[in-house]
Amino acid sequence: MAATRGGLFISFEGADGAGKSSQIARLADALRSSGKTVCVTREPGGSIGAETIRKLLVEGAAERWSPMSEALMMYAARIDHLERTIRPALARGEIVITDRFADSTMAYQGIAGALGEDFVARLHALVVGADNPDLTIILDAPIEVGLARAGRRASAENRFESKGAGYQEKVRQAFLKIARDNPQRCVVIDATPAEEVVFEAVAAAVKKASLSHQ
């Protein structure tokens, strides 16, 4: 059941290495400078229980879990994230910015993982209900660019990157399909220019969504 919402819910999506973290940090700083209260969070994760599940999902060998196992764990984490972080922040009138949300499950497990869009959509209806983002920003870059960026990060959280360029290209195309299917919510932004150029497009999309939300 959806909580009463006064805040704005923004999700950032894209294949690995698209630059989501940098753009989220810039956006949060800009919004806070303008006097807004901002909750920055992430998936999988964003609450104590969900962060425990995150470690299982993003570390280890690529073949550690099947797409079905991944999707069920993602939605188990998402329930906790919604109940403990997202819904309370929105009810307080905050702007919630999340680094990934349910579109990632559809892209990674439903489409690229061939679990099926219908199965993921049923999970989504049960767990998320009406609590979809008001705006989803999909940062898009060629896979070789994203994997090169991701490879420069020193992190054990590289399980999905290790699935290879072919899988990542399927993920990229899945996000573009999601954007075509949801034009009222999704904005695709070219993530290849300099960070400040990308942020100009991000800020414009958020401004438009904010005006529509009032």
- Tell which residue, 202, 187, 57, has the closest CA to residue 133: 187
Tell me which residues of the chain have a pLDDT lower than 70: 1-5, 151, 153-154, 214
Closest CA to 88 of 37, 160, 142: 37
In a domain, 3, yes or no: no
Q: Is residue 1 part of a domain?
A: no
Whole-angstrom Cα distance, residue 132 to residue 90? 12
Residue with tokens 């920055």: 40
| Any domain includes 98 | yes
pLDDT computed for residue 203 by the predictor? 98
pLDDT at 1: 35
Q: Do the domain assignments include residue 179?
A: yes
Residue 209, in any domain of the structure:
yes
What percent helix, strand, coil does the chain show, rounded to 5?
Answer: 55, 15, 30
The residues, any chain, with a CB within 8 Å of residue 163's CB and separated by 6 or more, are 62
Domains in the chain, number:
1
pLDDT at 16: 85
And the tokens for 46? 């964003």
Q: What is the pLDDT of residue 155?
A: 73
pLDDT for the residue 164: 86
Given this model, what pLDDT does residue 3 score?
Answer: 43
Give dist(CA 120, CA 135) in Å, integer: 20
- CATH code for position 54: 3.40.50.300
Question: What SS3 state is found at 107?
Answer: helix
For residues 3 and 147, what is the distance between their CA atoms, to the nearest angstrom?
38
Query: What pLDDT, on a 0 to 100 scale, did the predictor assign at position 148?
Result: 80
For 189, the 3-state DSSP assignment is strand
pLDDT of amino acid 214: 67
> DSSP class of residue 51?
H
Question: For residue 32, what are the domain limits?
Answer: 8-213
Asked if the structure places residue 2 within a domain, the reply is no
